[in-house]
């Protein structure tokens, strides 16, 4: 895991940099989705989370979930289109898990992708993701707690 200005950036994940959403490809072709360390830092302490229910199809570009903090409300858009197969029910009672552990206990949903190969082309990973994340952090003036 790399860090930049205190922000954690796992290299094995796929990222939607502008929306600060991560995607992790798991066994059986499923994809776990969450908010990045940078994203949760910018948003502030989460106070409410709405996540689409399992069985719901989420078209590309439409929200998988919406997050609300004291200073921000916004969607977690699907870059990877598919069906929600699981959602993190703990977030309904503990939305701050997104702040405390964005890449672990604070995950948001698991998707069964419709066309993973196509959708991965719209995401970045590895060194490219690291460089783009650094550019975003510098541009937006983000400092994570680390």
Q: How many residues comprise the chain?
A: 146
Q: If we measure between CA atoms, which residue out of 72, 75, 76 comes closest to residue 23? A: 76
Whether residue 42 contacts residue 85, with contact meaning beta carbons closer than 8 Å, is answered with: no
Is 109 in contact with 33 (CB distance < 8 Å)?
Answer: yes
The closest alpha carbon to 72, from 3, 140, 145, 16, belongs to 140
| The model's pTM | 0.96
For the stretch 11-33, pLDDT in tens is 999 999 999 999 999 989 999 99
Q: How far is CA 9 from CA 2, 6, 85, 105, 134, in A?
A: 5, 10, 26, 16, 10
pLDDT 10s digits, 37-66: 999 999 999 999 999 999 999 999 999 999
Domains of the chain: 2-133 (2.40.50.100)
- Per residue in 84-134, pLDDT tens? 999 999 999 999 999 999 999 999 999 999 999 999 999 999 999 999 999
Distance CA 6, CA 65 (A): 26
**Number of C-beta neighbours around residue 57 at 10 A:** 14
Q: Band of the pLDDT at 34, cuts 50, 70, 90? A: very high
C-alpha distance across the termini of the chain, in Å: 12
Give the confidence band of 72 by pLDDT, cuts at 50, 70, 90.
Answer: confident
């Amino acid at each position: 895991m790399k860090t930049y200005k205190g922000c954690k950036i796992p290299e094995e994940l796929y990222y939607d940099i502008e929306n600060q959403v991560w995607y992790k490809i798991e066994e059986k072709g499923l994809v776990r989705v969450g908010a990045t360390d940078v994203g949760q830092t910018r948003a502030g302490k989460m106070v409410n989370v709405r996540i689409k229910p399992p069985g719901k199809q989420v078209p590309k570009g439409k929200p998988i979930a919406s997050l609300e903090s004291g200073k921000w409300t916004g969607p977690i858009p699907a870059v990877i289109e598919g069906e929600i197969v699981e959602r993190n029910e703990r977030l309904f009672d503990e939305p701050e898990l997104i702040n405390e552990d964005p890449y672990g206990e604070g995950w948001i949903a698991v998707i069964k992708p419709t066309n993973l190969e196509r959708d991965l082309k719209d995401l970045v990973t590895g060194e490219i993701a690291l460089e783009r994340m650094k550019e975003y952090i510098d541009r937006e003036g983000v400092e994570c707690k680390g």
